[in-house]
Amino acid sequence: MSSVLRLCIVHHHQPLRIMGTRMLTSERVGFAPIRSHELKDPVPPALLSFKDPRAFQSKSWWELIRALGVFRLCSYPVLVNNCGKLMSFTRAVLGKRVFAMVLRPFVYAQFVAGETESEIAVSMEKMNSQGLHPMLAVPIEEDLGESSGEKKYDDNLAAMLECVHMSHSNAWSKDPMMQLKITALVSPELCVKLTSLLKKQHYDLDLLVRALDREAVTFPGLSETENTHFLLGLNRLNQIGEASVNKVRVLVDAEYTYMNPALSLVTMAMMKKFNRDSAWIWNTYQCYLKESRDLVFDAIHLSVDQSFCLGVKLVRGAYMDKEKKLAHKEGREDPIHQSWEHTNNSYNGCLEVILNLISQQPDRYKIIVATHNEESVRKAVTWMTELGIARDGGSVCFGQLLGMCDHVSLTLAQQGFSVYKSVPYGSVDDTLPYLVRRAQENRTVLQGIRKERDLLKQELRRRAREKITQAK
Ligand SMILES: Cc1cc2nc3c(=O)[nH]c(=O)nc-3n(C[C@H](O)[C@H](O)[C@H](O)COP(=O)(O)OP(=O)(O)OC[C@H]3O[C@@H](n4cnc5c(N)ncnc54)[C@H](O)[C@@H]3O)c2cc1C
């Protein structure tokens, strides 16, 4: 969020008990810190070690073998680090059709739900039967220099509106969520410009809400062309908000620090418009950022100040390497925490604060603990139990990517927690750039997925033994 927005909210005196400090630890914000005491309805500790291969009992033989093969490939850093180049090369050698035929049953089927509505429905029904919820993601990737004309953004809007519709209009879509990338609807260049303007300029949320309501407002600092594009972009976002409110929760992705303040500004305006009674629009907080605690703190204050419900997607962050390189190149301070441990502390600190708020006002605050990290999941489950937060009360849920860390997702779902899988869909060609970026973002997770591989092997052995015993 911009420092301007931050200033404007800090000047207000909030009734919320977290006022009076910028440090986001539970003691300092005035909550009772979560301490060990007798747990209400605790999850058996053995299950929280996520070591039970029976988590995979709903998977077919082929799904187990496929996952094992794909994770084996992902364990080679050279393959993951160069997967973009390797895929382009293979596609050039084999041709588009043969390449798609080769990729479809393996990598594609592991990480993508399908291309046609009927293929997607089959994957989603399977997920539904496993107690998992869908969080559909239209695989659109835009960064600086990749932006396109208004027609392309309108096409992206049509794809997103279709995603809203598909998310809520099927038997498999219970309490659906979807992901939204603002840069698919507003040019990344404009988001960068707005971010730099926000350092010196104040944009009132009401001005943005008026623009969402289709008023032809003028934003200071923007040229006429930029202003027109911003109004069109806000109009597109408004259409997503109107189509999804009361039906689908829309989780706005966090991207790079050189555009995040603009994305947050727009998201907060959408929250102000659409989140009066419940959180339908959510923002993402990347805990690898040194400023992440302040950003979460600011969002809480703004939500109180402007009377909207706050939905938080809590992630560690996906763009670490590029952020570090850019900061180094530009000679500015690295925005990323100095170590993984610092990121973990930041993640757990933010988690604790939001869970505390939820225990007080479950209707106004919601969180998705979007991580593959078992320790963070364990902490969230333990704190929920200690704070008396219902497992499926709708205020706390968990999120992992489709095809990854199913031992965590399935164990949680089997214990009655609300678990979402981020589900990309589309043709092999459309999802390829998405898959390559996700593989690179998650390469540490993919390479460290040894435990899931061991569990998959155990489950295969268990089934083989069962078959042999039955045959005797
Ligand atoms: C449902 C879902 C939605 C997501 N949406 C977004 C999004 O909108 N925006 C986004 O940026 N990401 C998003 N992500 C990706 C996420 O940010 C992580 O990249 C990914 O989940 C890996 O983090 P982890 O907590 O799962 O795993 P872990 O293995 O526990 O953590 C790996 C992460 O820790 C951090 N890290 C690793 N090494 C260091 C270090 N040396 N110093 C500091 N930090 C370090 C990095 O963020 C790295 O990705 C999403 C993930 C999920 C599951």
Q: Is the pLDDT of residue 361 over 60?
A: yes
As a dihedral over the C-alpha atoms of residue 196, residue 199, residue 201, residue 202, rounded to 10 degrees, the angle is 120
Can you read off the two tokens belonging to residue 460? 């295969």
d(CA 405, CA 301): 34
Which atom from ligand 1 is nearest to the alpha carbon of 422? 1
The helix, strand and coil proportions of the chain, stated in percent and rounded to the nearest 5, come to: 55, 10, 35
User: What are residue 314's DSSP bridge partners?
Assistant: 285, 369
Q: Is the pLDDT of residue 293 over 50?
A: yes
The alpha carbon of 188 and the centre of ligand 1 are apart by a number of angstroms equal to 22
Q: Is the pLDDT of residue 224 over 60?
A: yes
**Mean predicted confidence (pLDDT) in 23-36:** 47
Ligand 1 pocket (Cβ < 6 Å) reads: 253-254, 284, 286, 288, 315-320, 336-337, 339-340, 343, 370-373, 399-401, 422, 441-442, 444-445
Q: How many CB atoms lie within 10 A of CB 24?
A: 21
Q: For position 88, what pLDDT does the model report? A: 87
Q: Is the pLDDT of residue 225 over 60?
A: yes
* Mean predicted lDDT score pLDDT of the chain: 88
Q: For position 16, what pLDDT does the model report? A: 40
Are the C-beta atoms of residues 418 and 175 closer than 8 Å to each other?
Answer: yes
Q: For position 18, what pLDDT does the model report? A: 38
**Mean predicted confidence (pLDDT) in 219-235:** 97
Whole-structure pTM value: 0.91
**Mean predicted confidence (pLDDT) in 86-102:** 88
Q: For position 22, what pLDDT does the model report? A: 36
The alpha carbon of 449 and the centre of ligand 1 are apart by a number of angstroms equal to 14
Are the C-beta atoms of residues 168 and 248 closer than 8 Å to each other?
Answer: yes
CATH number of 114-425: 3.20.20.220
DSSP state of 13: P
Instruction: Express as a percent the part of the chain with pLDDT over 70.
Output: 89
Between 383 and 19, the more confident residue is: 383
User: What are residue 367's DSSP bridge partners?
Assistant: 312, 396
Tally of helices (H runs) and strands (E runs) in the chain? 20, 8
**What are the two backbone dihedrals, phi and then psi, of residue 323, each rounded to the nearest 5 degrees?**
-60, -45
Q: What type of residue is 99?
A: F
Q: For position 147, what pLDDT does the model report? A: 58
Q: Is the pLDDT of residue 153 over 80?
A: yes
d(CA 292, CA 288): 7
d(CA 174, CA 36): 34
Q: Is the pLDDT of residue 466 over 80?
A: yes
Are the C-beta atoms of residues 47 and 428 closer than 8 Å to each other?
Answer: no
Best residue for ligand 1 mutational test, from 315, 334, 347, 445 (most atoms within 8 Å of Cβ) = 315
How far is Cα of residue 436 from the mean position of the Cα atoms in its chain?
17
Instruction: Express as a percent the part of the chain with pLDDT over 90.
Output: 68
**Mean predicted confidence (pLDDT) in 168-194:** 94
- Say whether 182 sits in a helix, a strand or coil: helix
What are the structural domain ranges in the chain?
Answer: 114-425
d(CA 224, CA 210): 18
**What are the two backbone dihedrals, phi and then psi, of residue 275, each rounded to the nearest 5 degrees?**
-105, 35
Least confident range from 87-91, 222-226, 377-381, 395-399: namely 87-91
Q: How many CB atoms lie within 10 A of CB 158?
A: 12
Can you read off the two tokens belonging to residue 409? 């997702």
The alpha carbon of 373 and the centre of ligand 1 are apart by a number of angstroms equal to 9
Beta-carbon contacts of 392 under 8 Å, excluding residues fewer than 6 positions away, are: 416, 417, 418
**Mean predicted confidence (pLDDT) in 192-198:** 97
Q: For position 463, what pLDDT does the model report? A: 92
Alpha helices in 75-187 (DSSP H): 77-81, 83-94, 96-103, 109-111, 117-129, 150-168
Q: pLDDT (tens digit, 9 = 90+) per residue, 240-283?
A: 999 999 999 999 999 999 999 999 999 999 999 999 999 999 99
Are the C-beta atoms of residues 406 and 377 closer than 8 Å to each other?
Answer: no
